[in-house]
Amino acid sequence: MNENENASGNSTEEFIGLEDFTASAADQRLHLEMLSDIPRTETYRQVIVSNSAALRRKVVMDLGCGTGIISLFCGRLAQPAAVYAVEASSVAEHTERLVKLNGCQGVVTVFRSRAETLELPSKVDVLVSEWMGNCLLFEFMVESVLCARDCWLKEGGMMWPSSASLSLVPCQAHADYTQKMEFWESLYGLDFSCLQSVALKEFFSKPKFSHELAPEDCLSTPCDVITLDMHTVQVSDLEKLTGEFWFSIERPGTFHAFSAWFVTQFNSLDGGGTTLELNTGPHSEPTHWKQTLFMLDAPVTLEEGDCIGGSICLHRNPVWRRHMSITIEWRIKRT
């Protein structure tokens, strides 16, 4: 990203394709990572526990169920009429074994199918899925969730998550900048600074996933720039999602980057309970998603009271449907 007093910048990231996405879903390392993510898995367990009474005699679909952990939570911790565990990859074979091993075969049925070709015995009262990715929409599994919702969710049924937001904050990233840019200034007593422009293009032209942002590196209070209501958002809405932001700098610091993460909310099934939340930001317990970092071309010194305003656009690739471009335009207003 380039910066000046009225600057704009952009950052683009290409995502893996559908074939790779389906194959990777069967990778046991992926499931080890997800099941080891306690905040993620415990949030879903708490959603089931807190709604256990309301789930009685309900029909639940767990879309993209993987090893079936959410389906097993439903089967063991609530008393639903049925749970349809839907998984497109070959891990579904293991899911069937896990269902039997945990004594849930009378409630949980595994369907090896993509959402777009899914055939179920009935419509469902609840559609639960862990579809989120880095920067919320990574790989666009959300499209499959919306297709399943439109085909199989009963009128008035519940979506878990019920809503999802992309959060953004201007931040410092001293370690990344020092490691990848300042490194070239004096190397073994020699001047390698001419390679900084090469390093800039290679390291900072795309977002950095799995960044661990320290809370003290946030230069402002984060804000939600894009929010999806999972009951009403349409597949066509995913083509281009935009949002605006206005940050007031709360302490002096060096503006190296924007950082993004997502927050999801799970509404109570009976409407009277507490809404649960999964927050993947730096002020919450770390998850395997961590945060996404969008580095500027050059750092900017900011003072308390300075403001950063602008917009963000997530634009889906018209050909490679699991890919998207992310554009951030911004400007600084000095105090």
- 87 classed as catalytic: no
Q: Decide: 114 and 144 in contact? Cβ < 8 Å.
A: yes
Q: Decide: 169 and 247 in contact? Cβ < 8 Å.
A: yes
Bridge-based pairing state of the strands 208-211 and 276-279 = unpaired
Residue 102: how many other CB atoms lie within 10 Å: 14
Nearest to 124 by CA among 62, 73, 212, 216: 62
SS3 assignment, position 129: strand
Entry field: residues in the chain: 335
Tokens of 44: 């879903």
- 139 classed as catalytic: yes
Instruction: Spot the catalytic one: 116, 130, 239, 285.
Output: 130
Q: Please report, as a single letter, which amino acid is at residue 27.
A: D
Distance, CA of 116 to CA of 97 (rounded, Å): 25
Distance, CA of 302 to CA of 253 (rounded, Å): 5
Residue the block writes with tokens 């960044």 = 211
Instruction: Spot the catalytic one: 13, 87, 96, 139.
Output: 139
Q: Please report, as a single letter, which amino acid is at residue 279.
A: N
| Catalytic sites, residue numbers | 130, 139
